[in-house]
Amino acid sequence: MPDSDVIVLGGGAAGLAAASTARRAGLRVVLVSDGEPGGDCTFNGCVPSKTLLHAAASGMSFGDALARVRRTVSRVAATENDDILRQQGIEVVRGRARFSSARTVSVDGRRMTARRIVIATGARPAVPPIPGLDRVPLLTTESVFDQAEAPGSLAVLGAGAVGCELAQAFARLGVEVTVVETEPGVLPGLDPEASAALSDALTEDGVRLRTGTTARAAGRDGRQVRLDLDDGETVRADRLLVATGRRPDTHDLALNSVGVRTDERDFVLVDRHMATSARGISAAGDVTGLFPHTHGAYAMGRIAVTAGLRRTRRPAFEPSSIPLVVFTEPEVAVVGTAEHDLAGISARAAYLPMTEVDRAITAADPRGFVKLLAGPRRLLGNVGGGRVLGATIVAERAGEMIHEPALAMRTGMFTGRLAQAVHAYPTWSLAIQQTAAQFVGGHAGRVARTIRT
């Protein structure tokens, strides 16, 4: 007889969600973690970075900001530690697991068996293969919040969400910041207008952007780190932060021995129900590479367990309607498809600059815009405004505003319903109503335009 019903490998967002879901279903659960429960989000990601951003925006000193980060991390970690999990009936085993068979894992010599196993070991910072980079001191999200004092200058490799958030935070804490990004703009892959808007905001905060160029070598100049760029420029800084993506934490799990397939980057391959190629083994969270954000990991963790318990009506992970937010100032929030990815699709776009939104005017922060994309519904075409395909919002409260379009996508509602819903005045979300109205008659002379592809 198996020792438990479910073994969960990993104590991050996906692992905690899987373990709690299994326990609520009345199953015997073992959670194996080689670190503190909470994982990267609590200790190296969402919690410390958003705390640092808020502290920097409020004018705190570097020391006070980092002290607030430590207090906040401790407070959140206390809600999901070993004792709390055991009180919920979840057995916690500390250590690194390795598969012995499809139903058995070994942790520091202890063998444990279960009917189902969920791989939720997460991911770690990826360091690009730049010549000399392995011989210079560098920071990642695993170490950047441990600094005792502010560096005089900071170079940031990568202008994705993490790079942009930390660049803005450090700049506001008085650090001279330079960001190096291979792609032509910040937030590669998102709407170019959102990229341009955030570039302006970062520049206003004193961040120096070097986009469209690649670091071809790294080295030391005395106590400083040196980056030689392919355009001939050299960037020197007291510290170097690498924010160039993540790699899955799968290297020593012995996945091949039990038939769990991975892709060329070693992310675990799963179907829409989070099942791997090995029967009885699921995977969830960053280790899959599907949606590298905490809320996505929670959703995957729940699905990995629930889908394994059902024969019919099995839940599926649908990332297309899950929003993501970059917590800079202004915030950047997106859901669904971006306009430049709509080639070959009949669609319309509605646009509203925040300069025309009364709440933004009263807040004296009219930066940004709302863009909604909609396409025809099957059989009904554009009746009722069609269906929402995606949204991009740049605004002070974009992270809160994005959930209406996300809900519209998730439920398949008519785009016009967003315009019909009466919104309180003056709120940031009123901009959603005003933008959606452009699909069903117009707003203040603005009407949705046809997207030319």
| Phi–psi pair at 16, nearest 5 degrees | -65, -40
Provide the whole-model pTM.
Answer: 0.94
- Above 90 in pLDDT, residue 399? yes
- What is the length of the chain? 453
* Ordered structural domains, the chain, with CATH: 4-38+80-124+247-317 (3.50.50.60), 133-244 (3.50.50.60), 323-450 (3.30.390.30)
**% pLDDT > 90, the chain:** 92
pLDDT at 1: 65
DSSP 92: E
Determine how β-strand 348-353 pairs with β-strand 369-375. antiparallel
Q: Which of the four pLDDT bands, split at 50, 70 and 90, describes residue 176?
A: very high
Compare 312 and 335 and report the one with higher pLDDT: 335
- Above 70 in pLDDT, residue 173? yes
Tens-digit pLDDT profile for residues 351-397: 999 999 999 999 999 999 999 999 999 889 899 999 999 999 999 99
pLDDT at 311: 81
Average pLDDT value over all residues in the chain: 95
Compare 406 and 344 and report the one with higher pLDDT: 406
3-state secondary structure 310-369: CCCCCCCCCHHHCCEEECCCCEEEEEECCHHHCCCCCCEEEEEEHHHCHHHHHCCCCCCE
- Above 70 in pLDDT, residue 68? yes
pLDDT at 342: 87
Q: Which of the four pLDDT bands, split at 50, 70 and 90, describes residue 453?
A: low
Task: Give the mean pLDDT of 92-105.
Answer: 94
- Above 90 in pLDDT, residue 344? no
Tens-digit pLDDT profile for residues 178-217: 999 999 999 999 999 999 999 999 999 999 999 999 999 9
Q: Which of the four pLDDT bands, split at 50, 70 and 90, describes residue 3?
A: confident
